[in-house]
Amino acid sequence: MKVAFVGAQSQRTISRALVETAHSLVWSTSSVSDALRLFGSAPPDVLLVSASLSEMSPAALTRAVLAKANCAILLLADRDAQRVSEVYEAMGAGALDVVAMPRIDEQGRLSGAEPLLLKLRTAGRLLGRASQELRKVSGSSVAGLGLVAIGASTGGPQALLTILAQLPKNFPAAIVIVQHVDREFSEGLASWLRDSSKIRVDIAREGAFPSPGLALIAGTSDHLVMTSGGALRYRAEPIEVPYRPSVDVLFSSLAEHWPTPAVAVLLTGMGRDGAAGMKKLRELGWHTLAQDEASSVVYGMPKAAAAMGAACKILSPLAIATELINHVR
């Protein structure tokens, strides 16, 4: 794939990271204005954007790039100076994902390149589809508890923020969320959402139980699943699923283990993750909601759900929040 980079001090690091891979660095620059000019003449498949830009915010650059053409945008965050709000604002604007910036130490050794290369491989698989997509629990402590299960990917953080910010503090259902984001940034996502929500937002810890008024977010690269005892667990299997954590895996585990029909939501994102799982839930009587095309940054996952009849309703994030309040009440 053709890769480009916008950032101040890590151009040599990115070049080193891509050596002996199938990716070519077509250009790199520290200037946002140069990046927009170069993007017009030599558009890459994937644009790497430093989350520490000073000339323009990553979100503003993301919007400017996507206004020109479809492009997968990956944010590179400095591990010591992550700008959490700017990272998730950019993901809300359409950035695909975030990963820690690789480093070259004082001895000239490169470290931290593999997570970036993994993200590029995933982006490559998704770009192959982009042209078609862009625009039972017994005796459990959760018996009788209302549940909202949400899956999201590209653009998901902003959609999640819109929904969670509308929910009242005494929201009577539990919420479980799978957002495609690297594990290093899941804590930051939870904190960012918590600061703007009346309900509690936290990472789903191993063995945690859903609780009313609490939104639990998948916090590792393993799959978050519901077990027969009502607890949330992390599982490496299925290994072959490209989305980690996977919305389909969560939804399928709920279809098997959650005692009564509840609510499932599928938000903006590239690919088809969550559509098949949502179809299973609808067939079991769940109330299933998918984000509409007009409000989606990438109309892939919800489009797949709508196409296969998995969604009862197609709504904007704001309308989804209202639907959740009315349905759960």
Distance CA 16, CA 62 (A): 24
Known catalytic membership, residue 180: yes
What Å distances lie between residue 181 and 70, 231, 262, CA to CA? 20, 22, 25
Known catalytic membership, residue 153: yes
**Catalytic member of 180, 223, 257, 287:** 180
What Å distances lie between residue 125 and 128, 129, 237, 285, 327, CA to CA? 5, 7, 20, 33, 37
**Catalytic member of 45, 97, 248, 273:** 273
Distance CA 85, CA 31 (A): 22
254, 175 contact by CB (below 8 A): no
Distance CA 115, CA 183 (A): 11
Known catalytic membership, residue 327: no
Burial 110-132 (b: 16+ CB within 10 A, else e): eeebebbbebbebbeebbeebee
**Catalytic member of 52, 57, 140, 153:** 153
Distance CA 315, CA 322 (A): 10
Q: Which amino acid makes up residue 139? A: G
Query: Among 209, 205, 210, which Cα is nearest to 222's?
Result: 205
Active site residues: 153, 180, 273
